[in-house]
Amino acid sequence: MKLAVLLVLLIVGSAGAAENVHYFLPMLGHVHQSPARPSPSLTTVQCGHPLVVLEDAKVAIGPEWAYVTVADHKGFVWRKHLSATKPDCFQARHPKFFDALNLDLAELYYWGRLNDHWEEGVARP
């Protein structure tokens, strides 16, 4: 009986948490310390990585940013970089190619920063 109750609590608890799980869309990017693109990075994430979107009344953010947690970091990600469903990522479609790039941590960081500053469809006059 105790085992059945424990299983029900685990299932209900994980179902409630799963409602706020979103997946990172771009190939590489960052969880930021504050809701601004040039802010310091807390961690680098890649396409398909799950992030838990938090609702916290103490954290004031605009509509463009989401307050998230990943591992032991709490920070900010552009909402347009999040998806409620797991995306079809380049890394998953071409794992041998991506692994052959042999990117080290510093390279992952810089490619993620580049992606954070990239805006598709925006032209400057």
**pLDDT per residue over 76-91, tens digit each?**
999 999 999 999 998 8
Strand ranges (DSSP E) for 65-123?
A: 65-70, 73-78, 82-83
Q: What angle do CA 60, 61, 66 make, to 5 degrees?
A: 125
Q: Is the Cα dihedral 73, 74, 76, 80 positive or negative? A: positive
pLDDT at 115: 79
**Over residues 9-23, mean pLDDT:** 56
Provide the CATH number for the domain formed by 20-117 in this structure: 2.30.30.40
What does pLDDT average to over the chain?
80
Flag the least confident range among 14-18, 25-29, 75-79: 14-18
**CB–CB of 28/46 below 8 Å?**
yes
Q: Domain map of the chain by residue range? A: 20-117
Predicted TM-score (pTM) of this structure: 0.72
**Over residues 91-95, mean pLDDT:** 87
**Over residues 98-124, mean pLDDT:** 79
List, in order, residues 6 or more apart from 72 with CB less than 8 Å away.
none
pLDDT at 2: 42
